[in-house]
Structure 1
Amino acid sequence: MDHSTPSRKELIELAHYRMPFGKYKGRLLYELPLPYLVWFRGKGFPPGKLGRNLQIVFGMKENGLEGMLARIRKEFPRQNP
C-alpha cells in the first residue's frame, strides 16, 4: 500500500475521478459509500491508479475530509469532460 501524500495534481484529478465499473459505475469516488470502501479494503484494493485513488478516498472519508474533494472539484472544474 502506498502511503505517500497525494500531490495537488493528484487531488484535482481525484476530485473528478469516477468509478469505472460495478454497482457504482459513473459515481465520483468521493461519493462512494464508506461501507463499499471498507469492503474493498477487506477484499483488497484493485491495482493501479484506481486502487490508489480508492485508498486515498477511504482515508479521507475515515477522517471526515471528503468534503475537501467537493470543494476542489468546484474550484478546479474539469477542462475536458
Structure 2
Amino acid sequence: MRTSAHSDTCVAWVDICDSVAGTSARSYIGKTIVIGGRNCQIRGAAPRPGSALCTRCMRWGHHSSVCRSKGIRCPLCGLPHSEAAH
C-alpha cells in the first residue's frame, strides 16, 4: 500500500491468481468495494513491460539468478514453500 500524509487517496496493489487471459481479474475492474466505510473503485494496474519478476522470492525488480532471498516463495499463496506443495 502506498499513501502520503498530504494525500486523501491511497493505492493498494492486490495480486489475483488468474488465467493467462486475465478473465477473472478483468471482471473486477470498474466495480466498487467498501473499505473503512468508503466506496473504493477497482482499477487495473498499468502493464510494466520489462519489469523482472523473480521466480524464487516472487518479488518484482530482479531475476532469480541474482536473488538474495534465503528461501523460495509459492507463486500461488506467497508462503515459504514451492508451488508443488499445493
- Normalising by structure 2, report the TM-score: 0.27
Structure holding more helix per residue: 1
Q: Which has the higher contact order (CA 8 A, sep 6+)?
A: 1
Structure holding more strand per residue: 2
- Normalising by structure 1, report the TM-score: 0.28
